[in-house]
Structure 1
Amino acid sequence: MMKVEGNSLGAAVEEELQTSRTYRLDLDNGRIAGMIDSLDAVEQAVYKILDTDRFAHFIYSDNYGMEKQLGQRIVHDLERLVTEALLADDRITGVEQFRMEASGDEARVSFRVRSVFGSLSVSYGRKPE
């Protein structure tokens, strides 16, 4: 855990930054396979956020996940929806170089995620529900 000091009206304030250490999800085998941290944890979070329907699961806050009722709006709204969903994670500082390929009722997007731990390239595709 890192500590950050700052001033608030002349008084010293300490804020603890939360660790990003979490369980590594082995989705192919349906199990947990050790621990991950930093950029690996952010990458796993990106895919979890994109695969979680926003507002559909009471265990997550209303800020977690991505809105999935896209229908015909997919071409116009996908970049905004992905960006809003990912920026809700305070480790993610930006989403850039967004590209989308649509074919029929499928879309594949690729983009670059900037985080407090560095940057990573993401490629994601899914049929709209």
Structure 2
Amino acid sequence: MIPAVNSLKEIEVTEQPSLCHHMIRETCNVVGECDGLEAVKQAIYNILNTERYRYIIFSWNYGVELQDLIGKPMDYVMVEVERRITEALTQDDRIDSVDNFEFEVHRKTLIAKFTAHTKYGNAKIEKEVDV
């Protein structure tokens, strides 16, 4: 006979801070810590500058696939960049959505400007993609 145990306790989920080392991109220095929107902006920068599936240290859900777009027609690239950036960034549970994409074409470079809506506020982001 197996005893009937009904002692499931309520599980309380508490959100951990998103503290990370603060990276100053212009000088390539790491100084102090950042949290909130600034930490999410840094995570976005890291995701968009990590080629997906290339590095075994990262999960296959981390990063964005942009290398295979080189040499493709610009109309196709614009649609794919929007889709791939949105997919890559919404893997982070702090990012709710990505929209307001605008594109600028400069020879063999596509500049994508968009808004990332996070739980800490909105962030205007710009990503340069070689095509």
TM-score by length of 1: 0.84
Cα distance in structure 2, aligned partners of 1:15 and 1:22: 21
Correspondence for 1:49: 47
* More off after superposition, 79-88 vs 19-28: 19-28
Correspondence for 2:23: 25
| Deviation string, structure 1 residues 21-50 (Cα, Å, up to 9, x no partner) | 100112333331110000000011111111
Cα distance in structure 2, aligned partners of 1:30 and 1:115: 25
**Residue 12 of structure 2 aligns to a residue in which SS?**
strand
* Correspondence 1:103 to 2:101: no
Cα distance in structure 2, aligned partners of 1:48 and 1:79: 17
When the two structures are aligned, how many residues end up with a matched partner?
119
* Correspondence 1:117 to 2:120: yes
Report the structure number with the largest CA radius of gyration.
2
Q: CA deviation at 1:11?
A: 6.4
Please tell me the residue identity of whatever aligns with 2:90.
L
Correspondence for 2:3: none
Correspondence for 1:74: 77
| Contact 2:20 2:33 (C-alpha < 8 Å) held by counterparts | yes
Which sections of structure 1, spanning at least 5 residues, go unmatched?
Answer: 1-9
* More off after superposition, 32-41 vs 19-28: 19-28
**Which one has the bigger strand percentage?**
1
Q: CA RMSD in A?
A: 1.7
Which sections of structure 2, spanning at least 5 residues, go unmatched?
Answer: 1-7
**Residue 53 of structure 1 aligns to a residue in which SS?**
coil
Please tell me the residue identity of whatever aligns with 1:109.
A
TM-score by length of 2: 0.83
Q: Percent identity between the aligned chains?
A: 31
Cα distance in structure 1, aligned partners of 2:9 and 2:115: 38
Please tell me the residue identity of whatever aligns with 2:85.
V
Correspondence for 1:6: none
Cα distance in structure 2, aligned partners of 1:63 and 1:106: 25
> Structure 1: which 4+ aligned runs deviate by more than 3 Å?
none
